[in-house]
Structure 1
Amino acid sequence: MALTPKQKIFADEYLIDFNATRAYKVAYPKVKKDEAARANGSRLLTNANVASYIDKRMKDREKRTEITQDRVLQELAKIGFADVTDFVTIEGHSVKVKTTDQMPRDKLGAIAGIKEGANGIEIKLNDKEKALELIGRHLGMWNDKVELSGEVKTNNPYEGLTTEELKKLIHGG
């Protein structure tokens, strides 16, 4: 089944910044409240046709740009697993910057910048901790969301009573 024109607008807008609330408000401009747009946008994302369309467009973009999860992880790994000694040699109290041909090619992406400073050449590396955090999140090593499952069992003596029956109990009727 094909998307409705509004569903297509929603999905195309969602692909811009992955903000379902904003995308819903663009597709359905009469909806002014963020709360309603958030709930309806979230619901639309679970619609099989919308989800399939978004998935296809994302795969098309991945092919077109050649930006894949693997490439992103490889770049994060360069940063996360780089060591300062990949870029400098330490001899006694002396630190010398290696020439780029002496540095591992696969680690060059870890360098944020090189400049002449007051104490000589300075190398600034990208944020190693952040890179490792992002890799860990991707691998599911830690999760900020808590998922609960199971049944809630109660011994509610009023369970199953109608509103009228409850009113009679309250008012002594």
Structure 2
Amino acid sequence: MTEKKKLTLKQQKFADEYIISGNATQAAIKAGYSSRTAASIGDENLRKPAIKQYIDNQLEKLQSEKVASQTEVLEYLTSVMRGEMTEQTLRGEGEGYQTIDNIEVGAKDRIKAAELLGKRYGSWTEKHQVEHSGGVTIIDDV
């Protein structure tokens, strides 16, 4: 079993800055390395396995936290289509007062969700996939 090498504070700051900017030289400068040697230090740091692993792990976390998976999108569209979702709307109470009400998602939104799901599963396409294993002969007799 391999032991993880712990990063120094400067290396972690470098890695965090690199994730933000994608620029190793600027990340090295912001992490506190000399601007004179920042380019070579930045390049060197990106080749260190512990720093590279830290960057890869952080990017993977960001990816999974910020981006909806295909399953999540399909589940959401399905719940909209089935009318399981509500949306908020303002309702006037008179004298300038308003309250927030939860209402069912409208038919247009449910239809749109159904269309998007249909597109995903190829239900609405008029194109046909044709496979051909033989050769193609072009005759130019003009």
Normalising by structure 2, report the TM-score: 0.44
